[in-house]
DNA sequence: AGCGGGATTTTCT
DNA sequence: GAAAATCCCGCTT
């Protein structure tokens, strides 16, 4: 397990930028870089964990480095990296990825080329075939592994308000790599 | 380029 | 029974 994942989500979210995800599909692997994240904490009104532990959010309160997958709007999955210490309900939403190699494997799940393939939280879950089956999966293991990379320089990281939520809109908890073409929205 | 609605199901009130 | 950490399409400027 990557030790710094036990830090608060607000610290982990920018630290995850530039790190890699390795997804195994049909015995082959796709390598992708994390380029956009959002932090969610237990004290945050917009977080699923704000109202305490429930059946749905129990993974968020569990061990850091696992995957929290939720279903929303009747048709979409989104995925998070669980952060913080055991018992803390915090996580980081993965909002956009840049495919580095093996991108053609994604075609059968999301047959859209270019940046449109993975530049949104529900899009990347569709492209990587991430569903409820992977809820609670450890990111230290295949078929979905998180690979640590050196931290980015802070002047490469943009910090702004989050997207797609109705509560706590103004909290600057969204992070992305400066001028990166795969970011979901400027 | 920007706005508005529909899809569709899980979760909590 | 309503809202939701979204996306896509079609209509209007």
Q: How confident is the model at residue A170 (pLDDT cuts 50, 70, 90)?
A: confident
> Given this model, what pLDDT does residue A12 score?
98
Question: Do residues A37 and A93 lie in contact, with contact meaning Cβ atoms separated by under 8 Å?
Answer: yes
> Given this model, what pLDDT does residue A184 score?
85
What residues contact residue A179 under an 8 Å CB cut-off, 6+ apart?
Answer: none
Question: Do residues A173 and A38 lie in contact, with contact meaning Cβ atoms separated by under 8 Å?
Answer: yes
Asked whether residue A117 carries a pLDDT value surpassing 90, the answer given is yes
> Given this model, what pLDDT does residue A186 score?
73
The protein footprint on chain C, as nucleotides within 7 A of a CB, is 3-8
Distance between CA atoms of A36 and A71, rounded to whole angstroms? 20
* pLDDT, averaged across chain A: 95
Give the CA-to-C1' distance from A117 to B7 in angstroms: 20
Give the CA-to-C1' distance from A96 to B4 in angstroms: 25
Average pLDDT over residues A13-33: 97
């Amino acid at each position: 397990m990557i030790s710094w994942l036990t830090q608060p989500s607000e610290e982990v979210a920018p630290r995850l930028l530039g790190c890699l995800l390795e997804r195994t599909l049909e015995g082959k692997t796709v390598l992708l870089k994390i380029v956009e994240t959002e932090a969610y904490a237990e004290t945050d009104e917009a977080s699923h964990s704000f109202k305490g532990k429930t059946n749905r959010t129990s993974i968020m309160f569990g061990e850091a480095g696992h995957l929290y997958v939720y279903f929303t709007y009747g048709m979409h999955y989104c995925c998070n990296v669980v952060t913080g210490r055991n018992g803390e309900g915090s996580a980081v939403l993965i909002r956009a990825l840049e495919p580095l190699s093996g991108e053609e494997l994604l075609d059968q799940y999301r047959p859209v080329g270019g940046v449109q393939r993975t530049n949104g939280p529900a899009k990347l879950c569709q492209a990587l075939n991430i569903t409820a089956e992977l809820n609670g999966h450890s990111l230290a293991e295949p078929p979905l592994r998180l690979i640590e990379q050196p931290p980015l320089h802070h002047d490469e990281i943009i910090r702004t308000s989050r997207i797609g939520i109705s509560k706590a809109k103004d909290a600057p908890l969204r992070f992305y790599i400066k001028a990166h073409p795969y970011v979901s929205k400027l």
